[in-house]
Every structure is written in structure tokens, then in C-alpha cells.
Chain A
Amino acid sequence: MFHKLAHHWNVSSRREFFTRAGSGLAGIALTSLLAEDGKLKAASVAPDPLAPKTPHHPPKAKSVIWLFMEGGPSHIDLFDPKPKLKELAGKPMPASFGKVVTAMGTSNNSLMPSQRTFTQHGRSGLWVSDWYPEIAKHVDEMTVLRSCWADGLNHVGSVCQMNTGSILAGRPSLGAWVTYGLGSANRNLPSFVVMLDDREPVGGPKDWSSGFLPATYQGTQFRTGDTPILHLKPPAGTTDQQQRSKLDFLKWLNEDYAARNPDDTELEARIGAYELAYQMQSAGPEAVDLSKESTATKQLYGLDDPETAAFGTNCLLARRLVERNVRFIELYAGSGSGWDAHTHIEANHSKRCRASDKPIAGLLTDLKARGLLEDTLVVWGGEFGRTPFNEKGDGRDHNPWGFTMWMAGGGVKGGQTIGTTDEIGLRAVERPVHVHDIHATVLHLLGLNHEQVIYMHLGRAERPTITDGKVITEVFA
């Protein structure tokens, strides 16, 4: 499907490229669906941007659930214990750690050790603090990446980079690249779904935008309630019988028009789009209908507790979407910068951890019990971590130089840590992994080579990792 291409490349025929890459030069969706139904001659089928595509190599994961702790969780209070900070408590950061420019100008403030208790868990003995007791039970499924780093200082650029690879808006998000690279594995739900547990994330919908890729690939924000997709329900006062009758009339009009204007696959595609829309009207509400989930399942995700119910519901929905072949699901926990603890980190993180601990643990348990974990990749992390020096006495500033993320499930080796930060948790030192490396690794697990997922844009062969990215092979089971 994809040619091996560098970020700049030479090709004799752009048209050939577009046709073969199915990039949606004319962007005609749904034609493969029509072709399957025998409505289009194979020769006249335009590339369907959502048709399933062959991956570059056998995938380890079919779906991704990305748990985005928005605002920046403190790695040194969760997964990366730093006893040295106790020694240096209240002192300024020794010069040997190097100067940093921070968002709030706090780098001269004194160092602040963690008030959490860290213990080792599981057979692997990975360290997790007492803020995440339930998740800690799953360490043997997890690869903990302790040496992540990113480029942005502020939330908006950093959230943008964790989604798109760039701190500047305008590029496609990873979920959009995945949908572009693999097509959709289902017919009547979006392939890339985003859910929020609170306010809009910083940057808003551009965080799941398709950037310069056709809009077909952008993420769909699932809304709470029984109609997760915008305009999924017929307008008030329209019954199903009435709507079906209207659609039959429309179909007749459109088929008549297509007969008068033959050999136009786009017109045919638009007829198909209405039929698909009609199917989505029932598939969407069915996917988010939790009434058939057992009480035990709901409890597992913490739906019975007001503190965990919001994120727990999203985690449970994510499992249902995985079952329905949705490829990329991004769940924001504390959406709207909830983890941004510039002050009162104890209070802030206690609440955030409590809201996400049981739901995430429940998700891992449930996925495993249903045999879904082996081909579902679960990624946990924020847009950055937090500083070892204090802000306003009891908070921590943004830290993009060193922070923790973890992965579990599809193709991921359990019970290991990769990389280290320095003795105070400020910078990644051993085996640093950049956001691009994380993206390259996620793509690899899905069967895509990040250097071969190419879209021509303004004379450049663009790819998800821009000009960088190395797969972190140690992650693989």
C-alpha cells in the first residue's frame, strides 16, 4: 500500500501515488462498500479513504486505548521514586542538574520530595506509589517508560505534541494517521473516538484533528448520553418510519440524478453515505447503551461511586468500542488540565488518582478477562510530568524534560521499566524516549511502519513522526 519514502522523496507520477496510497485526493468515501454490494464496476471504484488497508507487518494490536492524564501527572509521585529528593529537600537544585526555563519561572525554587509511599508490586516488583493502589496490581502487564521527554513548555503545545507530534497546531493527530494508514475496521461507527470526563481539553477539537489529511480521518468526540455523535438522532418530531420514507424518496431522487449523470462514483458514494448514516443512527446508541452491562462489571469500573463514575463510564465505553472494532480510542482523564497541580499537589493528585485508579484497573481486568487485552494496546500518560522543585510551596511546575508513561496489552512486555531520569527526576538520562518514539512504537504495534505512513502535502512527504522517531523495541513482548 505504501511506498517506502523519506520525508522528501522523488516520484515520477503523483497521480499514481495518490491512487495507490488511497489518500483521498478526491476523497471519496464508501466506494468500497458499494463495490462490495456490487453497485460499482471495479474499474471505476475510486479509492475509499476508510477501506481497510493491509498493514506493513503483522500487527500485535488491533485497537489502542490512550488514557490521557491531561495537565501533567507527577511522575516522581507516581511511578518514578526519587529518594535523593528527601536528602535535598528544601535546598535549591544543585547546579549540576543544569538550568531549565520553566513555564512559571520556578527553577530557582527549592526541591520538594514526594510525600507518597512507594512500594514494589507484582512478580516484577515495579514501583508504584500509594496513589495508584489498583493500577499497581497490574504492573506485571506493564512496560513503564521512565525516560520520556517532549518539546513543549506549556499545556497547549504539549497536548498538541502528544497528539500530533508537533507543538504547533495543524498536523494530523496520531488517531487520524492510524485511520488513514489502516482504514476503518468497522462500518457504522467512527474509527477514531475521543471521550472527555470533564471540560474541553486545552486546544479543543484540534487535538484530534485530521490536520492536512482529509476530514474523514479526524477523531469523533463521543458525547455523554444516548446520542454520542452530533446529529445522530432524527430531529424532534421525526419518527423512524417517517425518516425511512424520506430517505427512500431521497434515494430515488439521487439514483435518478445519477442515471442522468452516469459514471460518477462520487454521486454513488453519496447515496451510500446516507444509507450508512441511517445505520449509524442505531449502531451509535447501541454502542453506548450500558443497560446490558452487569452490575458486577459496572462496579469493576467504579460506576457505583460518584468519584469514579465519570471516567469509569468512559473506560467501560472504550471496552465496548474495542469490541465493535473501533481502532483508536482516546480517553481524557481530568480533561481541561485537571492534573495541572501548580499548587496543592497533594489535594489535586489525590482526587485525580482516585478518579482514574479504579476505572483504569477495571478496564485492564475486564479486557483481560474477555481476551481483549492481548490485541488492545493501552497507553497511559500526560503531556509532560512535573518538576522536582516546588511551586508556591506545595505545587509542582511543568516538566517536559523527563516524565513517565506506561503501556500494557497488545504486544507489550509486562513487568519492566525502560529508561531512567536523573536522581531528582528532572531530566531523562538513560534511554531517553521522545514523543516521536512513542508514536513510532504505537504505530509499529498496530502493524504500521511510521516512516511509511506517508501523505503528500505542500510538496512534502509528511509522516506521523515528522522527521524523527525510533521504535522502542524493548517494549515488545
Chain B
Amino acid sequence: MKRLHLLAAVSAFSFVYVPLMRSAEAHKEFTPMQRRWWAIQKVVKPPVPAPKDAAWVRNPIDAFILEKLEAKDLKPAPPADKITLLRRATLDLTGLVPTPEETQAFLSDDSPNAYEKVVDRLLASPRYGERWARHWLDLARYADSEGFKSDETRPNIWRYRDYVIRSFNEDKPYDRFMKEQIAGDELYPRDPDALIATGFNRHFPDESNARNLMQRRQELLNDITDTVSATFLGLTYGCARCHDHKFDPILQKDYYRLQAFFANTRIEDQEVLVFGAERTEYAEERAAWEAKTKDIRAEMDQMAKPYLAAMYKENFDKFPEEIQDAITTAPEKRTPIQWQMYYKAKPQLQHSEEEAAKKMKGAEAQRWKGLEAELAKYDDIKPPDLPVAQAMIDNGSEAPKEYVLKGGVYDAYGEEVQPGFLSILDPDPAKIVKPAGLNSTGRRSALANWLADPQNPLTPRVMVNRIWHYHFGQGIVGTPSDFGMMGERPANKELLDYLAATFVENGWSIKKMHRLIMLSNTYRQSSAYNPDAAKMDPQNKLVWRYNRHRLEGEVIRDAALEVSGRLNLKMGGPGVFPPLPPGVDPRGGWKKNEDPSETVRRSVYIFVRRNTRYPMLEIFDMPDTHESCGRRNVTVTAPQALELLNNDLVLDWARAFAGRVLNDQGLTLEEQVDRAWKLAFSRTPTAQERQHAMEWLNRHTPILANRLAKDEKVPLPDDLPQGTDAARAAAMVDLCHMLLNSNEFVYVN
């Protein structure tokens, strides 16, 4: 990497593409066009242009945008009004709508930096991390379960979700964020967050009863390779699994070179997150408990033994011979690949004593119960289990050999390869240093350091483009996880490079990047339509206005809960289980939260059952968790309308929302309408809207009055103030319900 940059000696302000080639071998393999591929050229911070309308330029972003607009004789849209801007910034950074108090404070702040203060307030809010973590979880294909047939729960994987939230809130530098997720165990071995972070590569779907474990291992490695390359590099390495990439200069060999960094990894689902004195203390307490319970446990072990052995044998016999060999080979004689197979087979062979006990009958079962009760008497001296991460670590310091696989077939071995980066950038094997004092290969550390190298042409570009994409609903490169030839070209490469260079200069700070983008006039434009601009640039690639876009399902749910006053802002911990619609009964289970306030927490905390996404979120295009997603689909469908219209939960929120409106003391009906508008839309209704709402309430109320007269049940707020007319209150519920369904509510403008 380093030597490459000497060769790529471009003057700071030159845009001449200089191929980053250095070996004759590589030279042969790539065409001149591939060598000119924009995404792999060094990032050079371009000079800020000086467009004609200098007054519009608030920061360098505006200069880059305006220059392109002026070249096409286009003008940016007028600035968004204060309320629109506040709502946009709040939804964008926190995934919630501004409260009426926040709106009022902003409207009455006339200072020139009023908006800047809002952006800083939002960036400092813990809600920010919850919002932006969700974007990263899409990329990480995060789920709380295994997938495949049984879709078993991963009981501790939620710590990864909380880690991502924490990292965004702390503004963890992105280089560090990458390094922790790729090789946290090697680089920061006693840092609990870094161990949790390795869960990024633990999120693959997995099959608990696979028999052909060589094939299964290969599928996992493929999943990891595809995800790492798409997420961090914005490259579709997956195309090179079976043959050289047809369009991008990614050789089939490069696919397996990247994969080789992970060749020696294995799952560690019991990675203890406590060190030092606390851990010693635990060990001592545990030892004391063990000593006191020795006899009881010995008897239980003895009783469970034959059942465990039988279960072991039953599963052992199902494996093909080579796997059986790997299991029975003495540890000191196991080859690295046998170790891989051993660890893959282990979960199928190990069973708990609880499972064994389920098979006991009669007196034996009685005795077991008695012993359990005996054991429970010592629970008060038993230390609680230590927190653990579901992590990805190396399985020793010797990696199995890695081969190019012909046609991508798991046992069709071709040429042997060593870990390495894109050959077009560096055809040599990566320099691997075994980490001192750790039983690990150091391979992933080498990859992490390469990704986090400030000179890496891809990682900073890919990340600033993602940030831009989430702010504007469209990236500078429209395909955020594909910077290849089949992806879109950057609409404004100079801007992208300016942002990438600035990102690295600012210590990879994501919050500084938000600030830069959000304080620009570009971001502050309204979404007003301009027919001339639309003709010239129908996709708004030049950003002549802000893109109005539909909120994600998570944001619709969270904002509706917030407006209804029901949202529980408790942070972190295991996933929560809002009720499922009747008849939806996922394999793997769906618990019931005994405390109902747990079911109205933010959507990012909803348990993600891999095979059955939470229906309300799925219907609004929450991505499939079987692969990395860098850009969600956006659909508008009738089932979405049914969801918001007929789901009891949404009506429930409307009842609470109406309750908030009706419980404000001393409001006239008109003022109640105003209040509902303010809560849902952050603004007062226009005179015409108010009049229409009043007329509609007057028409709608008798429908409800008639039904109430017939003693029919109508949806009403739980806490109706004394003396409220029930029909009026029910009509207000219906009005609030429709505000939550409206386009103004589900679109950010």
C-alpha cells in the first residue's frame, strides 16, 4: 500500500488518473480501462470551486454543488422553511419528530446560529445513535437468530446492536469502528467493546444441523467475504466467486485472497467480557459454590452421562467419515482444517444436562428433581453468569490452506492463495504479523489496518457516500454498496473526494461529517419541484432540491408512538417482543413481554427473528437479513395501507394520541384540532385545514353518536377527562388515526 502511493505521484490538484500499478504480472491481467477505474484512484482533495453565486455558498459542499448546477444553468431550490427544516433534521438524525416544545423553541430563536444549535443538540441526543445504528445494522445483516430451519435465538448477539448504538453516540472514529469489527479480538484483546464488535462477522445465517460441514464452512466464508467487501469496500466481490469479475478488476483469486483473512476464524459464543479483579472475584465465588455443591453435581453428572453419551453417538454417527475423523483425531494431531471441522461439529455433539434430564423417567426423574432442588439451595452463593459476547475469533495461530475454488465449488480446489488485497492495487500477499501473546494468526489485523489506512481509496469514499445517501435518500454514488463498473458513477466526484479527504482529516469523525452536510445550504434546500431542472436532471443527481422521501417502517412506528405519548425511551438490552398479528407464529418463538412498556420501545430494539421479520417493519421494506443491504427498496403498496389503517396497535396509538389532545385542559374544539396538528405535523393547520377538519368532525361525530346510542363499542381514549362527550372523543380518535396515516406524517419533506 505505502509503496503504491509513491508511484501514484500526482500533484495535489491534478485529476489525471494515474494507474496504481507496479508489477508486470498485474499489468498483464488488467486492461487500461480497469486501471483507470475511478474508485481505486487515490483520494486527492480537490480545490473548492468558486461558483458565480458566491452568496449561496455557505460551506464548500455548496460550492461543489452550485458549480455543477450553474454549468447546466440551474438554480438551487429556495431554502426550506424553518419547520420543514427542523422536522427534516430531527427525523434524519433521531428518527423521531420534534416535540411541540422543540418546535416552539426553534421558531422563537432568531439568532443566526439557531439551526446550528439544533443540529448540535440532535447530534448529542442518545436518540441519534439509535437512528444511525439501524442503518449500520442493515449493512451488517444483523439478526437475533440463526436462520435456516430452527431459527434458534442468539441469546447474546444484542450486545452487538448496543455496541453499534454506543459507537455512533460516542462518535467513535470510523477507522477504529472498522478495526474493532474486523479484528477487535486481535487488536484490542481486553476491550469488551472490541470483542463484541467482532460480532459483525458472526451475523451469517447458520444451520444448526448441517452434516456436510466442509460445504457449510465454505458457505459461511462466502457470506463473510461478500459482506465485508460490500460494506467496507463498496465492492461486489461476490461476482468473483466462480470466475474473474466480468466488469470490475476483481480476480477470482482476489475473492479467495480476501477470504483467506477469515480462513482460520471460528465462532466464540461465550466470549467473556469481564477482566481483571472482577473476573478473579467471579472465579473465586464460583469455586466456592462448586466446592459446596460438589457431591450433588457429581451425582447429577453421573446420571446424565449415559444420556449425553447416547445423544453424542446418535449425532456423531450422522456425520460423514472425514468429519468423524476430525472429531476423533487426538487434539495434538489435528490439522488446522480438522480443528475447523471439530469446532463446527461440536455444538451438534454437546448437549446440556437439562436435555439429558428430559429423557429420564420414573424414580430416576424423581431423583433428578430432588437433586435440582438440593442444588437450588445454594443459589444465593452462586455468582451470576458473566456477560458474554457472541464473537468471531481465530482458531489458533495456524490457518488451514486457502485455495481458489473452481466454479466456487467447495471441494474443487485450484491454486493455493495467501491473504491479499485487490491485485490491481497490490498483487503481493498481505504482510501478516502474528500478534504477540495471542493464539491468533494476525490475518484479520492486517486486513483491518489496510481498511483503516487513511490512504485506502475505497473505505473513506464508501462511508461518506453512505452518510450522504442516508441524509438525502440518494448517494453521490447511487449504488452505495457497488462502486464497480456496474454501479453508478459518482454524480459529483469532486464533492465525493472532498468529503472523503475531509472525513479522514477530521479523524474519521462521523458526527463532523453530519454537521458539515447538514449545515450546508444544499441540505437546507426545500423539496420544491422545478420543471426545468426536472427536465434536465429528473433523478436530482445534481441535488437541485432536497429529495422528499418516505420514512422507513421503524421511523413511522417510532414517530407514531412518540406522538401518541407511548414511546418508551429505555435503551439497550435483549430484543423486545411487540405483539404479532394473530396467526403469525414464527418457528424459534416470539416471547411475550410481561411489562407492556417493553413493547413500545424503539423499533431498533425489536427482536429480529431472521426468518420472520416483524411484519409492520417488513411491510415497509425492512431488508431481508440474509445479506448486507446498503440501500433499501422503497415501495408503496396496499398492504402498507391496511397495516396502518387496520392494525389494532396503530389504532391504539391513535387512541392515546387523542387522549393527549383531549386531556389538555380548557381547549376549544378548534384548539384541539390545532393541538393534534402540532403534535403530528409540528405546525398549526391553515385556516382552510382547520375549517375542513371541523366540518369533518361535525359530519363524523353523529356516526359515532348513533353507534354509542345503540350501546356499540367504539374506540375511545383510556383516560377520558370528566364530562367529555364520548362521540366527540371517538371522532377525535379517528381524526388522530388519519393524521398518523397521512402522507405528511410518513414523508420527510
Contact with A along B684-697 (1 / 0, CB 8 A): 00000100110010
Q: A29 contacts B618, CB within 8 Å?
A: no
B741 contact from A27, A103, A250, Cβ within 8 A: A250
Residue among A249, A252, A254, A256 with the highest chain B CB neighbour number at 10 A: A249
Contact with A along B675-718 (1 / 0, CB 8 A): 00000000000000100110010011001100100001111000
Q: B212 contacts A215, CB within 8 Å?
A: no
Set of chain B residues within 8 Å of A103, measured between Cβ atoms: 211, 318
Q: A459 contacts B248, CB within 8 Å?
A: yes
Q: B482 contacts A459, CB within 8 Å?
A: yes
Bound complex: CA of A379 vs CA of B611, how far in Å? Answer: 25
Set of chain A residues within 8 Å of B619, measured between Cβ atoms: 215
Among listed B185-193, B278-286, B632-640, interface-contacting one: B632-640
Q: B626 contacts A27, CB within 8 Å?
A: no
Q: A230 contacts B581, CB within 8 Å?
A: yes
Q: B646 contacts A215, CB within 8 Å?
A: no
Given that A154-B149, A267-B743 are contacting pairs, would A105 and B317 also be in contact in the complex, using a CB cutoff of 8 Å? Answer: yes
CB of A60 closer than 8 Å to a CB of B: no
Q: B635 contacts A249, CB within 8 Å?
A: no
Among listed B331-339, B375-383, B483-491, interface-contacting one: B483-491
Q: B641 contacts A274, CB within 8 Å?
A: yes
Given that A154-B211, A205-B612 are contacting pairs, would A24 and B486 also be in contact in the complex, using a CB cutoff of 8 Å? Answer: no
Set of chain A residues within 8 Å of B696, measured between Cβ atoms: 245, 248-249, 252
Residue of A nearest to B734 (CB): A246
Shortest C-beta distance, A230 to chain B (Å), equals 5
Bound complex: CA of A253 vs CA of B651, how far in Å? Answer: 18
Set of chain A residues within 8 Å of B562, measured between Cβ atoms: none
Q: B642 contacts A232, CB within 8 Å?
A: yes
Set of chain A residues within 8 Å of B318, measured between Cβ atoms: 103-105
Residue among A212, A213, A458 with the highest chain B CB neighbour number at 10 A: A458
B636 contact from A27, A102, A203, Cβ within 8 A: A27
Residue of B nearest to A234 (CB): B646
Shortest C-beta distance, A14 to chain B (Å), equals 6
Q: A170 contacts B211, CB within 8 Å?
A: no
Among listed B166-174, B366-374, B583-591, interface-contacting one: B583-591
Main secondary structure of the interface of B (DSSP, over half): loop
Contact with B along A205-249 (1 / 0, CB 8 A): 110010111111000100100000111111111110111011111
Set of chain A residues within 8 Å of B585, measured between Cβ atoms: 200
CB of B247 closer than 8 Å to a CB of A: yes
Contacting A at CB under 8 A, from B187-215, are 205, 207, 209-212
Bound complex: CA of A101 vs CA of B319, how far in Å? Answer: 8
Shortest C-beta distance, A262 to chain B (Å), equals 6
CB of B648 closer than 8 Å to a CB of A: yes
Shortest C-beta distance, A260 to chain B (Å), equals 9
Bound complex: CA of A261 vs CA of B80, how far in Å? Answer: 13
Given that A170-B624, A252-B692, A459-B236 are contacting pairs, would A273 and B211 also be in contact in the complex, using a CB cutoff of 8 Å? Answer: no
Shortest C-beta distance, B395 to chain A (Å), equals 23
Shortest C-beta distance, B230 to chain A (Å), equals 7
Bound complex: CA of A77 vs CA of B636, how far in Å? Answer: 48
Q: A236 contacts B713, CB within 8 Å?
A: yes
CB of A156 closer than 8 Å to a CB of B: yes
Bound complex: CA of A322 vs CA of B446, how far in Å? Answer: 58
Contact with B along A455-472 (1 / 0, CB 8 A): 010111000000100000
Q: B486 contacts A456, CB within 8 Å?
A: yes
Set of chain A residues within 8 Å of B149, measured between Cβ atoms: 154-156, 202-203
Set of chain A residues within 8 Å of B486, measured between Cβ atoms: 14, 456, 459-460
Q: B700 contacts A206, CB within 8 Å?
A: no
CB of A346 closer than 8 Å to a CB of B: no
Contact with A along B733-749 (1 / 0, CB 8 A): 01101110111101101
Contact with A along B429-472 (1 / 0, CB 8 A): 00000000000000000000000000000000000000000000
Q: B319 contacts A105, CB within 8 Å?
A: yes
Q: B738 contacts A262, CB within 8 Å?
A: no
Q: A204 contacts B646, CB within 8 Å?
A: no
Contact with A along B142-156 (1 / 0, CB 8 A): 000001110100000
Set of chain B residues within 8 Å of A204, measured between Cβ atoms: 151, 586-587, 611-612
Q: B584 contacts A237, CB within 8 Å?
A: no
CB of A194 closer than 8 Å to a CB of B: no
Shortest C-beta distance, B709 to chain A (Å), equals 14
Shortest C-beta distance, B136 to chain A (Å), equals 18
A235 contact from B647, B703, B749, Cβ within 8 A: B647
Contact with A along B609-640 (1 / 0, CB 8 A): 01110010011010010110000011111111
Set of chain B residues within 8 Å of A271, measured between Cβ atoms: 743
Shortest C-beta distance, B174 to chain A (Å), equals 22
CB of A277 closer than 8 Å to a CB of B: yes
Q: B638 contacts A267, CB within 8 Å?
A: no
Q: A229 contacts B639, CB within 8 Å?
A: yes
Set of chain B residues within 8 Å of A157, measured between Cβ atoms: 148, 207
B624 contact from A211, A231, A258, Cβ within 8 A: A211
Residue of B nearest to A243 (CB): B645
Chain B: how many interface residues by the 8 Å CB criterion? 95
CB of A39 closer than 8 Å to a CB of B: no
Shortest C-beta distance, B247 to chain A (Å), equals 7
Bound complex: CA of A168 vs CA of B141, how far in Å? Answer: 15
Bound complex: CA of A104 vs CA of B319, how far in Å? Answer: 8
CB of B309 closer than 8 Å to a CB of A: no
Set of chain A residues within 8 Å of B148, measured between Cβ atoms: 156-157, 169, 203
Set of chain A residues within 8 Å of B648, measured between Cβ atoms: 235-236
Contacting B at CB under 8 A, from A111-130, are none
Set of chain A residues within 8 Å of B700, measured between Cβ atoms: 242, 245-246, 249
Residue among B242, B481, B487, B639 with the highest chain A CB neighbour number at 10 A: B639
Bound complex: CA of A238 vs CA of B714, how far in Å? Answer: 7
Set of chain B residues within 8 Å of A277, measured between Cβ atoms: 638-639, 641-642, 645
Bound complex: CA of A351 vs CA of B640, how far in Å? Answer: 40
Contact with A along B238-270 (1 / 0, CB 8 A): 110010001110000000000000000000000
Q: A229 contacts B210, CB within 8 Å?
A: no
Set of chain A residues within 8 Å of B647, measured between Cβ atoms: 231, 235
Contact with B along A398-434 (1 / 0, CB 8 A): 0000000000000000000000000000000000000
Contacting B at CB under 8 A, from A351-399, are none
Bound complex: CA of A220 vs CA of B618, how far in Å? Answer: 12
A154 contact from B210, B238, B741, Cβ within 8 A: B210
Set of chain B residues within 8 Å of A252, measured between Cβ atoms: 692, 696
Set of chain A residues within 8 Å of B715, measured between Cβ atoms: 235, 237-238
Q: A206 contacts B626, CB within 8 Å?
A: yes
Q: A212 contacts B586, CB within 8 Å?
A: no
Given that A238-B715, A249-B735 are contacting pairs, would A27 and B212 also be in contact in the complex, using a CB cutoff of 8 Å? Answer: no
Set of chain A residues within 8 Å of B584, measured between Cβ atoms: 230
Given that A14-B488, A242-B734 are contacting pairs, would A273 and B641 also be in contact in the complex, using a CB cutoff of 8 Å? Answer: yes
CB of A8 closer than 8 Å to a CB of B: yes
Bound complex: CA of A238 vs CA of B645, how far in Å? Answer: 11
Contact with A along B566-610 (1 / 0, CB 8 A): 000000000000000101111100000000000000000000001
CB of B506 closer than 8 Å to a CB of A: no
CB of B290 closer than 8 Å to a CB of A: no
Set of chain A residues within 8 Å of B739, measured between Cβ atoms: 253
Shortest C-beta distance, B103 to chain A (Å), equals 19
CB of B550 closer than 8 Å to a CB of A: yes
Residue of A nearest to B487 (CB): A459
CB of B219 closer than 8 Å to a CB of A: yes
Given that A8-B246, A169-B626 are contacting pairs, would A460 and B638 also be in contact in the complex, using a CB cutoff of 8 Å? Answer: no
Given that A234-B645, A263-B529 are contacting pairs, would A254 and B743 also be in contact in the complex, using a CB cutoff of 8 Å? Answer: yes
Bound complex: CA of A238 vs CA of B703, how far in Å? Answer: 11
CB of A134 closer than 8 Å to a CB of B: no
14 residue pairs of the A-B complex, CB under 8 angstroms, read: A8-B239, A26-B634, A27-B635, A105-B211, A205-B611, A211-B624, A230-B639, A235-B651, A253-B739, A253-B742, A257-B742, A261-B548, A274-B741, A459-B479
Other than the given A200-B586, A245-B699, A273-B641, 6 more pairs (CB < 8 A) read A156-B148, A156-B207, A212-B627, A230-B643, A235-B651, A460-B239
